[in-house]
């Protein structure tokens, strides 16, 4: 049965062994969807809900609103993403040219995609650039585990504009705003019976 404190402790013990060890912990956790829901509650709103943060490890419960997307971004640290409800679609991107987009041309291009459902996990190396979408008309819930401090990374993170694909500094406040606005839309739809 999933227990949040045990999960955090298991991740803390595994982080020194690397991404593969974290993946095993995450896969075991998301295999117990009912246990996660019992421990943390049924998701009711979109948001970024930190469970643990240290210099070498961050654990976040991400809840994606229906049809929500997040622009291309990097982490500059490894990530393991485990889905316990809904579906998460990832588009993976690669840098093109000098990668900056400073000449007005896109700094990245699509290089692949993956779609995950409950009980599945994705591993991403520290150099991966990806964008995320919830393609469903319901909330998607995922536990993300990062091999570093997601909120205050030692190497500044980057993001790319959805439309122009031009690179810019990562902005956590903008990310929080995207989740907040998506949550407001979701709640309004629920209240309207949509």
Q: Are 141 and 62 in contact (CB under 8 A)?
A: yes
The SS3 of residue 45 is coil
* Tens-place pLDDT, residues 142-155: 999 999 999 999 99
Does residue 104 have a pLDDT over 70?
no
What confidence category does residue 130 fall into, taking pLDDT thresholds of 50, 70 and 90? Answer: very high
Short-list 70, 69, 53, CA closest to 150:
53
Q: Strand pairing of 69-74 and 79-85?
A: unpaired
* Tens-place pLDDT, residues 157-187: 999 998 989 999 999 999 999 999 999 999 8
* Residue range 4-191, CATH number: 2.60.120.10
The structural domains of the chain, with segments of one domain joined by +, span: 4-191
Does residue 106 have a pLDDT over 90?
no
Number of C-alpha atoms within 13 angstroms, CB side, residue 106?
14
Q: Where are the alpha helices (DSSP H) in 31-171?
A: 33-40
As a whole number, the mean pLDDT across the chain is 93
Average pLDDT value for residue range 122-130: 96
């Amino acid at each position: 049965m999933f227990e949040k404190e045990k999960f955090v402790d298991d991740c803390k013990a595994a982080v020194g062994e690397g991404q593969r060890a974290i993946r095993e912990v995450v896969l075991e956790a998301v295999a117990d969807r009912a246990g996660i829901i019992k421990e943390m509650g049924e998701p009711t709103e979109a948001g970024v809900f930190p469970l643990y943060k240290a210099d070498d490890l961050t654990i976040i419960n991400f809840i994606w609103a229906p049809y929500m997307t997040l622009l291309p971004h990097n982490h500059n640290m490894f990530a393991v993403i485990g889905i316990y409800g809904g579906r998460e679609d990832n588009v993976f991107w690669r840098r093109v040219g000098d990668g900056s987009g400073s000449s007005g041309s896109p700094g990245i291009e699509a290089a692949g995609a993956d779609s995950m459902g409950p009980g599945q996990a994705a591993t991403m190396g520290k150099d991966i650039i990806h964008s995320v979408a919830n393609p469903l008309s319901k909330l998607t819930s995922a536990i993300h585990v990062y091999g570093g401090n997601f909120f205050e990374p030692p190497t500044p993170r980057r993001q790319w504009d959805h439309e122009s694909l031009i690179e810019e500094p990562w902005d956590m406040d903008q990310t929080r705003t995207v989740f907040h606005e998506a949550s407001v839309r979701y709640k309004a739809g629920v209240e309207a019976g949509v």
